[in-house]
């Protein structure tokens, strides 16, 4: 028998040499024939046991500063300013506030060619969609065009996304229209309704900009992808149903938004339909469907899938140009048809005369007092959050796709400022639209100049082409809305969520049903509440997992997950998988004692000697958490079980040490860096104890 | 040079043999003189790399069941029923509902002797305190005695704590009195006020019992120790200030509870004091102070410290009997003094005539309709939660001390039922009192029979001794209240919290200030909101920590905490210390990319090749979390960095595998069980790659 003895000098002040047998070698012995080191059986060496140390001391102020920085400046936006001369700092600062200063000077004719094409393409979408969405918000159609003129210009100067196509969007339009209609009728008092809409837009902008300036952008993260999928599907159905009014030409339509009142309206009014109207509408709808359906739909689905599943590629639909041009084409064809057939005299409702000229100022229409202020602020808040979520998500998706960075908080300031400017120039709430941004990207947009091109095109339309829209039938606008929003229903994403996470699916369903049967705010609120509740429950009921040794290694893992892992007799090794705090100490206490009781009942061959708590996943602890250890230690002592802590992380060991100064309750021999070292050290101590007895 | 070659057969189906050099040996070479195995330099062996496996498949229903069980039945109360015959099950069930059936049959005369002494002791406290606390709640003094008669009897049958002394308590009395006074004046409409009080008590009981039956007891955990310390200190100050009315004999006292109105009342009225009154009051207060101050105070402090810091011992105050008897003694002496001096005719206010006889029924006084229902329910809810928190905490403290178990949800049902019965027998809200339970325990109580003894003593008082209280001066009751509540101000505990956790201290301060300057509900609500917000922030801004190798080992730990740990060139090892979900993916994405950018800026000697995410602390993931990995992988690929995951836990690997079926994005060679194995395997792959080039 050969005995090899290895002496290792303790190289660090905090390591204590212990005399223990090394399991590593004995485990190699399992198959002696395969092992040429057969005599290692009796290898004994002096091995280090590593001590757990607290992190270097830092003052409370210093920690607070670090914490605040991580909370509000995780992207460290001032990093690039460091070490630069003052002049450079000023330039960088200006570029930070106005990204146009960064890319503007490098702008070339080649880029402009791309931007021109894409700008014209999105303009051809923006004009009919602008008119349609304004009607969705119960606003005069022209406001939709105004909103496609000023905001894109503002965004081109302030925004940092190169692909965002700015303008009114369906969801925010729907929500604004339906919320404001709760108190003011858009037909009985159109001026007041317009005032409320502009003031809501101002508050939406103010709220968005504040989120950005106060760096509270993470609030929109609580609208998770699951919530958005459910919410948008519900909203799409409601929007589509509301278009039944124009599609079927129903005259007495409900003012409410829910599924039930809309369905009731449709049923009640259905019998009164004029046959002529019905057929003409049907015909128009079919024209529309043929023109745009497959392609706009597939493009919208593609972008929405991209967003949800974050696939790094957007496939260009084959009939892309047809799809992009279809809405405008439908408007032109149907307008010509109505004009030719003089169908407006046969019960087909048309847009009618529109005022020529660019946006009139509207700051005198902002109302910061009066009875409706509460509603205005609520509407501003909700449309602000919704449009911000859409804008930021679209911006981030394309930034990731093209490998550039979009600063979320900076974007919020840009979108917020854009809406505040918009509210004084007759625009209602705008943001970066899903579908139009996808078209913009497909058409080859390179910079925000495509927004400028679109804006100029809309301006030309406003100045010179308004009379052409006089005969555009409302039914076409309805069809445009329906085709745009139907693509927001993302069944594959919903199926994916079902497959991966059932709770997320439930959240999605709550958002969907809530929007359909309660209200937009109600559905969103319920779903956000439910998902926040889930997070809290993860903390309140943290997982505790029993660990075992994976044979032949020093690795300890979940016994349930790794079937080959084995228990070490006399030890109960639990891993706690959450921060320990006031919300879960009662549970952890009860659960740990239950583990021990179960232990006592089952295995009577060897008494439980040590409870090892593996703390690698306990990221934080508070004063209640500290008291849990004290309580546990006292209870365990009565049962003759010793409490051992393994790998407490920086914050935890720091606080334990602070308590220790007073009461000395966690000694070095109950504190180990790894489970392996703890077991080795404790079982050798146990053995030497029993041999001396 | 000796080359030892070790071949280890892969013993488990999932282990893949890799050819790698073992770092363990080379690290032993640091001090060649101390090492007798000098030729191990070239040891090469075939080492296993362990694969990460998902846990065995379970159906959604099965998982849901397990989850619900952990959420609502963490203590597994039905465990003892398993495998028992039906008859035994019925007996166990009856014992579960009525713990008296468990200890009753074993009850002995020896136990009764202890219970008799302790029961008489707490009765001597309960009678003066009952009268005082009823006045604190603006109720007739006799209601305080009624409340010390019926509820203790109910608790003796239903409760599982052996030490709880049941009766009215100061905090709940204060809150009920001040909340109900917001709408109804106790002097102008005493009958209505009494009706509101009884109905609130009914709702408090209903709420408490529901929490227990629905097993939602964890809700009271959100009133953390820090909040309770702050809240009780604030409440104690307010209660004490309100006693200035009787202590100083002020006639025009405020009805409000806040610090500011009370201080204003005191200042305004101070100059109008009759000298006689002032001196007499001063005298009484001094008597009181001498009698009880030091001892009741120290007993209360001890129990409250025990509760907060969970020290496993309560030291018996030296002058225990003096302290326990002092309130009754003060009442007797002062009553005799008033009677002898006929002081009630000289402006000293006394209790006055009290009705003789035990509790009249009061179910006809419960009002479940009318204008005050909202206030009643709110009062019931808040007093219910507060009294429940006190009762459960006291019960748990003594159970831990004497090593028996108290089932929280069961206790809630007992306390709730007790209050519902109380509300129909002229009692207001009761629970287990801090100070009286400590006295009970010190006096040697063994079972709930001490409550029965107290109850019988109170009954005797109610039947025969009521005329004796006619001359008891109100000032003594004020002094009893002040001495009882002053002990609730726990400065050492507050200092301890300051030392360990600054945020908890802030929460405590908010509760304290909120109760003083806003209201009881306001202060509690703010503090609970703040501490819940902290939990959410821990999830929204999880810690990411850079790991390094502790030299001479295979252990990877926080570089900031373990100063000797070293970086491995070409690798960035980050540990994520929170579940990954919708609330933090944006942050984690940004933060990870910032880590990598900082990396690229600093070390230009060796390019970053691998980002290793150590996931041991990621206890859960949702669909958004999955998309983070997809996004990260795509972004990293563009930078030429490979994403490697280490030790994803059961739930995480399960979900990753589910996504993998579709998109194959986490391959086995990017997934390791330990950081050590990952580094070893990847660097040998890197080396063989560069040697073949």
**Residues of chain B positioned with their CB less than 8 A from the CB of A48:** 552-553
Which residues neighbour B246 within 8 Å (Cβ) at sequence distance 6 or greater? B349, B474, B475, B477, B478
Say if residue A313's pLDDT is above 60. no
Of B7, B222, B581, the CB nearest to A34: B7
Residue among A508, A512, A499, A513 nearest A531 (CA): A508
**A50, A501, A619 member nearest B555 (Cβ):** A50
Both tokens assigned to B267: 């200042």
The mean pLDDT value for A611-628 works out to 90
Whether B75 and A503 lie within 8 Å, measured CB to CB: no
Query: Which residue in B has a C-alpha nearest to residue A38's C-alpha?
Result: B6
CB-CB neighbors (< 8 A) of A573 in chain B: none
pLDDT for B305 equals 39
Choose among B316, B305, B284, B243: nearest CA to B487: B305
User: Which residues on B lie below 8 Å from A552 (Cβ)?
Assistant: 8, 11, 48
> Using 50, 70 and 90 to split pLDDT, how confident is the model at A468?
confident
- Of residues B500, B552, B585, nearest to A623 (C-beta): B500
Q: Which residues of A touch B624 (CB under 8 A)?
A: 224-226, 504
State pTM to two decimals. Answer: 0.79
pLDDT tens for each residue of A213-264 = 988 888 888 888 889 889 888 888 888 887 776 666 665 566 566 667 666 6
Q: Domain A541-692 is in which class?
A: alpha beta
Report the pLDDT averaged over residues A463-487: 81
> Which residues from chain A sit within 8 angstroms of residue B635, using beta carbons?
400, 403
Cβ contact A626–B553 (<8 Å): no
How many angstroms separate the CA of residue A139 from the nearest CA in chain B?
Answer: 35
Looking at the partner chain, which of B538, B577, B594 has a beta carbon nearest the beta carbon of A649?
B577
**Interchain CB contacts (distance < 8 Å): A and B:** 289
Residues 6+ apart with CB under 8 A from A257: A174, A178, A238, A242, A519, A520
Question: What are the backbone dihedrals phi and psi of residue B73, each rounded to the nearest 5 degrees, phi first?
Answer: -130, 55
Flag if B70 and A541 touch (Cβ within 8 Å): yes
Could you give the percent of chain A with pLDDT greater than 70? Answer: 79
Question: Which of the four pLDDT bands, split at 50, 70 and 90, describes residue A104?
Answer: confident
The C-alpha atoms of residue B53 and residue A407 are separated, in whole angstroms, by 38
Asked if the Cβ–Cβ distance from A540 to B218 is below 8 Å, we say yes
Mean pLDDT across chain A, nearest whole number? 79
Say how far apart CA B398 and CA B450 lie, in whole Å.
Answer: 15
Chain A residues in contact with B77 by the CB 8 A cut-off are none
Residue with tokens 């100061």: B170
- How many Å separate Cα B425 from the centre of its chain? 31
| Chain B: closest CA distance from residue A496 (Å) | 8
Q: How confident is the model at residue A13 (pLDDT cuts 50, 70, 90)?
A: very low
For B521-571, the pLDDT digits (tens) are: 888 899 999 999 988 888 888 989 999 998 888 889 998 888 889 988 889
> With contact defined as beta carbons under 8 Å apart, do A458 and A166 qualify?
no
Mean pLDDT of A317-344: 75
Sign of CA dihedral B461, B466, B467, B468: positive
Cβ partners under 8 Å of residue B221, min gap 6: A540, A582, A583, A584, A585, A586, A587
Among the residue ranges A23-37, A162-176, B183-197, the one predicted with the least confidence is A23-37
Measured distance CA(A631)–CA(A648) in Å, rounded: 18
- pLDDT for B416 equals 96
Q: Is pLDDT at B272 greater than 50 in this prediction?
A: no
Contact residues on chain A for B555, CB-CB shorter than 8 A: 50, 673-674
- For A371-375, B7-11, B350-354, B514-518, which range has the lowest pLDDT when averaged over its residues? B7-11
CA distance B120 to chain A (A): 31
**pLDDT value of position A197:** 95
B147 pLDDT exceeds 90? Answer: yes
d(CA B642, nearest CA chain A) in Å: 16
Chosen from B65, B623, B675 to mutate, greatest number of chain A CBs within 10 A = B623
Residue of A nearest to B24 (CA): A24
Residue A613 parent element (H or E): strand A610-614
- 3-class secondary structure per residue, A643-657: EEEECCCHHHHHHHH
B623: nearest CB among A6, A500, A620: A500
Query: Which residues in chain B have their CB less than 8 angstroms from residue A617's CB?
Result: 577, 616-619
Residue A663 pLDDT: 63
B76: chain A residues, CB-CB within 8 Å: 594
CB contact under 8 A, A622 and B222: no
The region of weakest confidence among A138-152, A457-471, B48-62, B429-443 is B48-62
Q: Where are the alpha helices (DSSP H) in B310-433?
A: 320-341, 373-402, 408-423
A221, A587, A650 ranked by CB distance to B582: nearest: A221
B24, B500, B524, best to mutate vs chain A, most A CBs in 10 Å: B500
pLDDT the model gives residue A165: 92
Instruction: Identify the burial level of A371 via C-beta atoms within 10 angstroms of its C-beta, where 0-12 means exposed, 13-18 middle and 19 or more buried.
Output: exposed
**From CA B310, how far away is CA B285, in angstroms rounded?**
33
Question: What would the DSSP string read from start to end of B83-118?
Answer: T--HHHHHHHHHHHH-THHHHGGG--HHHHHHHHHH
Of A536, A634, A655, the CB nearest to B312: A634
- Residues from chain B that touch A498, judged by Cβ atoms under 8 A, are none
Q: For A415-442, what is each residue's pLDDT tens digit? A: 999 999 999 999 999 999 877 888 888 8
**Inter-chain CB proximity B7 and A594 less than 8 Å:** no
Q: Contact A499/B658, CB-based, under 8 Å?
A: yes
Q: Which residue among A30, A538, A590 sits closest to B75, beta carbon to beta carbon?
A: A590
Cβ of B5 within 8 Å of Cβ of A659? The answer is no
Sketch the domain layout of chain A as residue ranges. 1-49, 131-486+493-536, 541-692
Mutation for B interface: A582, A633, A666, most B CBs within 10 A: A582
pLDDT, mean over chain B: 79
> Which residues in chain A are contacts of B36 at CB distance < 8 A?
4-7
Do residues A386 and A179 make contact, with C-beta atoms less than 8 angstroms apart? no
Q: By CA distance, what is A397's nearest residue in B?
A: B631
Query: What residues of A are in contact with residue B564 (Cβ under 8 Å)?
Result: 12
* Pairwise CB contact (< 8 Å): A586 & B408: yes
**Residue in A closest to B560 by C-alpha:** A55
Which of B71, B558, B563 faces A541 most closely, judged by CB atoms? B71
Closest residue of chain B to A55, computed from CA coordinates: B561
- CB B504 to CB A623 under 8 A? yes
What integer pLDDT is reported at residue B603 of this predicted model? 60
Selected for mutation to probe chain B from A23, A226, A310, A542 (highest B CB count within 10 Å) is A310
Span B334-349, average pLDDT: 77
Q: Are A682 and A644 contacting, i.e. CB atoms less than 8 angstroms apart?
A: yes
A506-550 per-position pLDDT tens digit: 999 999 999 888 888 888 899 999 999 988 888 888 989 999 998
Q: Which of A6, A16, A25, A22 is nearest to A680 (CA)?
A: A22
Interface residue of A550, A622, A631, A633 to substitute, partner B, most B CBs within 10 Å: A622
pLDDT in tens, A65-92: 888 887 788 777 777 777 788 888 888 8
Residues 6 or more apart whose CB falls under 8 angstroms from that of B541 comprise: A70, A71, A74, A218, B584, B587
Look up residue B392 and give its DSSP letter: H
Cα separation, B437 vs B443, whole angstroms:
10
The alpha carbon of residue A349 is apart from the nearest alpha carbon of chain B, in Å, by 45
Do A130 and A429 meet the contact criterion of CB atoms below 8 Å apart?
no
Q: Pick the residue from chain A with its C-alpha nearest to B309.
A: A627
| 8 Å CB contact between B574 and B592 | yes
Cα A631 to Cα B407: distance, rounded to the nearest angstrom: 17
Question: Mutating which of B561, B655, B657 best tests the A interface, going by the most A Cβ atoms within 10 A?
Answer: B561
For residue B323, name the pLDDT band (cuts at 50, 70, 90): low
Residues of B in contact with A540 (CB under 8 A): 218, 221
What ipTM, to 2 d.p.? 0.81
Give the chain B residue nearest A593 (alpha carbons): B75
Most confident of A326-330, A551-555, B278-282: A551-555
What is the structure's pLDDT at A425? 94
Inter-chain contact A626–B543, Cβ cutoff 8 Å?
Answer: no
* SS3 at position B48: strand
**How does residue B48 score in pLDDT terms, banded at 50, 70 and 90?**
low
């Amino acid at each position: 028998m050969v005995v090899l003895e290895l002496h290792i000098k303790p190289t660090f002040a905090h390591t204590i040499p212990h005399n223990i047998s090394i399991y590593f070698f004995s485990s190699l012995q399992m198959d002696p024939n395969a092992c040429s080191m057969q005599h290692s059986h009796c290898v004994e060496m002096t091995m280090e046991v590593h001590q757990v140390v607290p992190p270097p001391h830092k003052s409370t102020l210093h920690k607070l500063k670090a914490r605040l920085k991580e909370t509000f400046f995780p992207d460290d936006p001032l990093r690039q300013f460091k070490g630069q001369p003052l002049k450079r700092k000023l330039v960088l600062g200006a570029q930070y506030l106005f990204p146009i200063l960064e890319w503007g000077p490098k702008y070339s004719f080649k880029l402009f060619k791309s931007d021109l094409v894409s700008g014209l393409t999105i303009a051809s979408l923006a004009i009919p969609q602008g008119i349609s969405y304004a009607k969705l918000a119960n606003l005069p159609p022209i406001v939709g065009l105004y909103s496609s003129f000023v905001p894109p210009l503002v965004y081109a100067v302030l925004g940092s996304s190169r692909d965002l196509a700015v303008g009114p969007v369906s969801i925010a339009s729907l929500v604004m229209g339906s919320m404001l209609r709760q108190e003011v009728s858009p037909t009985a008092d159109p001026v007041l309704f317009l005032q409320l809409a502009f003031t809501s837009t101002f508050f939406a902008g103010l709220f968005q900009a504040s989120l950005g300036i106060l760096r509270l952008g993470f609030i929109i993260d609580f609208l998770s992808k699951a919530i958005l999928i459910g919410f948008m599907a519900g909203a799409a159905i409601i929007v589509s149903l509301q278009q039944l009014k124009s599609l079927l030409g129903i005259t007495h339509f409900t003012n409410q938004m829910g599924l039930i009142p809309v369905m009731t309206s449709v049923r009640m009014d259905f019998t009164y339909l004029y046959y002529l109207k019905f057929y003409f509408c049907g015909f128009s709808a079919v024209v529309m469907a043929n023109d745009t359906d497959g392609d706009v739909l597939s493009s919208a689905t593609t972008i929405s899938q991209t967003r949800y599943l974050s696939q790094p590629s957007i496939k260009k639909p084959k009939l892309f140009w047809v799809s992009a041009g279809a809405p405008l084409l439908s408007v032109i064809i149907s307008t010509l048809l109505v004009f030719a057939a003089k169908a407006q005299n046969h019960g087909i409702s048309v847009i009618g005369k529109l005022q020529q000229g660019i946006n009139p100022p509207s700051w005198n229409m902002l109302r910061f007092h009066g009875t409706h202020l509460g509603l205005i602020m609520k509407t501003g808040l909700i449309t602000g959050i919704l449009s911000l979520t859409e804008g930021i998500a679209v911006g981030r998706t394309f930034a990731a796709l093209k490998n550039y960075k979009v600063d979320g908080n900076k974007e919020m300031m840009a979108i917020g400022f854009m809406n505040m400017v918009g509210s004084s120039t007759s625009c209602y709430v705008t943001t970066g639209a899903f579908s139009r941004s996808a078209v913009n990207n497909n058409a080859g947009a390179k910079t925000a100049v495509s927004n400028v091109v679109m804006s100029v095109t809309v301006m030309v339309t406003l100045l010179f082409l308004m009379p052409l829209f006089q005969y555009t039938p409302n039914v076409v606008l309805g069809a445009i809305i329906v085709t745009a929003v139907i693509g927001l229903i993302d069944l594959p994403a919903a199926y994916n969520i079902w497959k991966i996470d059932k709770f997320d699916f439930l959240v999605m369903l709550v958002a969907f049903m809530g929007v359909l049967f309660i209200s937009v705010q109600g559905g969103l609120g319920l779903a956000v509440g439910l998902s926040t509740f889930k997070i809290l429950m993860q903390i309140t009921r943290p997982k505790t997992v029993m660990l075992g040794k994976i044979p032949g290694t020093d690795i300890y893992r979940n016994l349930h997950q790794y079937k080959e892992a084995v228990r070490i007799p006399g030890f109960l090794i639990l891993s706690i998988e959450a921060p320990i705090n006031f919300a879960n100490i009662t549970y952890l206490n009860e659960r740990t004692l239950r583990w021990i009781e179960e232990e006592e009942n089952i295995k009577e061959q060897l008494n439980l000697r040590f409870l090892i708590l593996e703390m690698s996943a306990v990221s934080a602890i508070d004063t209640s958490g500290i008291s849990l250890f004290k309580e546990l230690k006292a209870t365990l002592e009565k049962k003759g079980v010793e409490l051992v802590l393994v790998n407490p992380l920086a914050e935890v060991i720091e606080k334990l040490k602070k308590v220790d100064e007073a009461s000395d309750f966690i000694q070095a021999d109950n504190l180990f860096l790894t489970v392996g070292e703890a077991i080795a050290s404790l079982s050798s101590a146990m053995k030497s104890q029993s041999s001396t007895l």
